[in-house]
Structure 1
Amino acid sequence: MKVWKQILLCVAILLVAAGVWVRFFPGAQETLAGWGFEWALAATPAADGKPAGNQPPRAAPTLPVITDQVTMETINDRLRAIGTGRANATVTVTPYTSGRLTEFVVQSGAHVNSGQVIARLDSETEEIALERAKVARDQADAKVTRFRALRSSNATTVVQLTDAETELRNAELSVHEAQVALDRRSVVAPISGIVGILPIEAGNNVTSQSAIATIDDRSSILVDFWVPERFAAAVRIGAELSATPLANPKESFRGTISAIDNRIDDKSRTLWVQARIANPADSLRAGMSFEITMRFPGDTYPAVSPLAIQWGADGAYIWAVDAGKAKRVPVRIIQRNTESVLIEAGVASGDMVVTEGVQNIREGDEVRIARNEQPPAPGGS
């Protein structure tokens, strides 16, 4: 077959297909009119063979339609997350030096203050060193006193007195050094808090790397949790929240946001947030799990039944009932829920939208809303 015959055959097939589409596809005539082909709408024959553009307006549909009311729903107004609590401050206590642990001054579960001694190491050597340094200091001090008396009678030189004073100063520093070494044989609490279970017993040899106690400051509890990326801009330092222990859902604690991470985790798409909860009764412990609840203003959108959503060549739309006539309203779907669809459209709360009978509706058609009639009771007249 020659090329021009193939082209004519393709054109004929396209014209036939276009005619079938215009004749039988619902909404085709309105689509052509929207594209500027009003002549096609006028020339399209109706069922009786007359042009559709010359026909009088159609009568109201014989089939009733079922409608549903538009409501307003708010999303992104509440955040629920699971967080893990930890102490306001936690310190693992280690000795300054190596030695034999002679005694624990406190027991597990005791409350200690910052600077309080909690354990001691053997310190005989350090005590001897301190006494020796004190003897040397006393000798140097006596020498300075004697040289000053001799200097007043010009029996000694200025250089000799200066050397004696320097010797006294070095002796005082040696005493201070020996005292520090002795003090460090006592292990003190760096913070105030509660002592945990002691991992070792007195009599063990320890080093500067040995953990002999853990102290938790539980005056307040820090809760780490992660929020979805969409809430990142809404979370603020100082914002209030509610924390409910999963082990005791009947209790609820108030807290505030104390810290927010500076980046979104690129794997989980969540933001690390930290909250602080006061713990005056000491009823909370580090490691507890909490359900965190936060409230936000949220975003409000119209909500319609999923049956009201229709799809056309230009996207989703709904049929709204305006003064008894059908009106096609384009929509943008925001969120699909189980019983409703949140949309962005030119409708308001209380407007009626068609949910059943949409196959027979055209733009501007008069519609009749069917009423829900209850069937008569058995045995009734």
Structure 2
Amino acid sequence: MKRILILGITFALAGCLDEEKKTADAPIRGLKTHLVADTQRATVRRFPSVLEPTSLNVLSFDTSGKLLEVDLQVGQRVDAGEVLARLDPEAFKIQIANSEAGVRAAQAAYASALETLARQQELFKSGTITKVALDNAKTGVVTDKAQLEQAEASLGAAKDDLAKAVLVVPFDSILNAVEVQSFQTVSTGTPIVSLYAPDAFEVSFSVNFDMISQLVVGTPASVRLADRPDLVLRGVVSELGSRADAVSSFPVVVTLDEADPILKAGMAVEVAIELPLPKEQGFSIPLTAIIMEGDIADRAGPGAAQVFAYEPDTSTVKRRKIQIAGVRENALLVIDGLEAGDRIASAGVSFLRDGQEVKLIEAAD
């Protein structure tokens, strides 16, 4: 029995020695760190949106008629004074010809009435006719003169209609939509095209209450094109909705202060607005430093997180709670939990554990 007990103790001691040997032989993990030194005083919030024209103008004819061929394309650039569409002028020319004939007939009737009045006046002086006959001659002159004026007005309206049969561009524009087809009959006011100025754009999006309370009209913004990330344009907050268009969602409009020839309505953009941090300053750390545990999906907003801080006295890493204020240029802004000069693990965080001994192999300062 004693021999069995001694053997058991011997095996147990041997196992402990083996574990200690394995631990002693285990390699110390190298640690890549980030030096906490970058001070930030603001955070940038980003919002996806779509480029829209500041104003959209719909053009139509001021008269009715049949369209000629329409050769227009959406997105086409047109210059001020350029002809967009025409109505068939034949019907207008016929109306002008008829009106001119009416004017000539009215002129003849008016001239005849004047001659009749002159004769009646002579006859009245000689006592040949009564005053009633003279008055009737005067009435005929007035009536024929009114008919002449009416005929002349009709001729002027017919000529105006012919002039209105041509639709021209009021200013340098981009066609947003073409609402008609060739040879279609249109009425007065029927939309023909819609267009917008190529140098006046805006973007709109919605924000929560905390965001809307920090914005004022005139707040600077920048707008980056999704298809051309290298192109960033200046903008400014031009409108703020005081009433939510959805639950805790307030509309914001940013107007661009500059333009570019490639801009077109409907392009996807990202709006960036810089806001002050909740505290005086924040430290910038890489996204890879965060311990991926818990709900940290909303990295753009305030929230708590954890990192591994390097302890130089013991060459170990310790978990440390931090407070995140937002994101700027793909880096997290920390407003609590870190001090300038701290080093935190910036790579391989998922392989670390609290109190683990590490070897500082690189300092990403």
Q: TM-score, normalised by structure 2?
A: 0.54
Match in the other structure for 2:68: 102
CA distance in 2, matches of 1:104, 1:93: 14
Q: Residue 79 of structure 2 aligns with which residue?
A: 112
Name the structure 1 match of 2:201.
221
Partner SS state of residue 219, structure 1: coil
Amino acid at match of 2:56: T
Q: Following the alignment from structure 2 to structure 1, what is the Cα–Cα distance between the partners of residues 243 and 305?
A: 30
Partner of 1:90: 56
> Secondary structure of 2:48's match?
strand
Q: Is the 8 A contact 2:67 2:186 kept in 1?
A: no
Aligned-partner SS, 2:199: strand
Q: Is the 8 A contact 1:147 1:161 kept in 2?
A: yes
1:266 and 2:233 correspond: no
| Selected match of 2:274 from 295, 305, 310 | 295
What are the within-5 Å matches in structure 2 for residues 1-381 of structure 1? 77-93=43-59, 100-104=66-70, 109-113=76-80, 116-141=82-107, 143-144=109-110, 154=121, 157=135, 158-189=138-169, 192-195=172-175, 202=182, 204-208=183-187, 213-267=193-247, 269-300=248-279, 335-339=303-307, 340-341=322-323
Q: Which amino acid aligns with 1:276?
A: T
Are the aligned partners of 2:235 and 2:258 in contact in 1 as well (CA < 8 Å)?
no
1:236 Cα deviation from its structure 2 partner: 2.2
Distance 1:287 1:338 in 2: 41
Shift of residue 253, structure 1, vs aligned partner: 0.5
Instruction: Give the distance between the partners of 1:181 and 1:302, measured in 2 at CA.
Output: 69
Answer yes or no: is the 8 Å Cα contact 1:254–1:277 preserved in 2: yes
Name the residue aligned to 2:23: none
Higher relative contact order by CA 8 Å / sep ≥ 6: 1 or 2?
Answer: 2
Aligned mates of 1:206, 1:279 — CA distance in 2: 40
Give the direction of change, closer, same or farther, for the CA distance of 1:279–1:214 in structure 2 (3 Å limit).
farther
Alignment partner of 1:135: what SS? helix
> Does the 8 A contact of 1:191 with 1:215 survive in 2?
no
Give a deviation string over 1:17-60, Cα, whole Å, max 9, x none: xxxxxxxxxxxxxxxxxxxxxxxxxxxxxxxxxxxxxxxxxxxx
Q: Counterpart of 2:102 in structure 1: which amino acid? A: A
User: 2:41, 2:207 → 1: CA distance?
Assistant: 15
Equivalent residues of 1:88, 1:222 under 8 A apart: yes
Q: In structure 2, what is the equivalent of residue 17 of structure 1?
A: none
The alpha carbon displacement at 1:118 in A equals 1.4
- Amino acid of the residue matched to residue 47 of structure 2? A
Amino acid of the residue matched to residue 113 of structure 1? A
- Check conservation: 2:63, 2:165, Cα contact below 8 A: yes
Query: How far, CA to CA, are the matches of 1:275 and 1:207 in structure 2?
Result: 37
Distance 2:164 2:143 in 1: 32
Instruction: Specify whether residues 261 and 281 from structure 1 end up closer, same or farther in structure 2 by C-alpha distance, changes over 3 A only.
Output: same
Give how far 1:171 is off. Answer: 1.5
Residues in 1 aligned to 2:157 and 2:87: alpha-carbon distance in whole angstroms: 18
- Name the CA shift for 1:145/1:117 in 2 (closer, same or farther; >3 Å): farther
Q: Are 2:50 and 2:203, in contact at CA under 8 Å, matched by a contact in 1?
A: yes
* Mean CA deviation greater in 97-106 or 132-141: 97-106
1:20: which partner in 2? none
Amino acid at match of 1:293: A
TM-fit CA distance, 1:272: 1.3
Secondary structure at the aligned position of 2:55 is classed as strand
The alignment-based identity, stated in percent, is: 19
The question of whether the paired residues in 1 share the 8 Å contact of 2:58 and 2:193 is answered with yes
Q: CA deviation at 1:198?
A: 5.9
Cα separation, 2, equivalents of 1:143 and 1:303: 93
1:89 aligned counterpart, secondary structure: coil
Does the 8 A contact of 2:79 with 2:169 survive in 1? yes
- Determine the structure 2 residue equivalent to 1:38: none
- 1:131 maps to amino acid: A
Change (3 A) 1:74 1:228: farther
Once the two structures are superposed, residues 351-373 of structure 1 have per-residue CA deviations (whole angstroms, 9 ceiling, x without a partner) of xxxxxxxxxxxxxxxxxxxxxx9
Q: Which sections of structure 1, spanning at least 5 residues, go unmatched?
A: 1-70, 305-333, 351-372, 376-381
Q: Deviations over 1:62-113 (max 9, x none)?
A: xxxxxxxxx9x98985332112101233345555666543234777724132
CA contact under 8 A between 2:235 and 2:255: conserved in structure 1? yes
Equivalent AA in structure 1 for residue 84 of structure 2: I
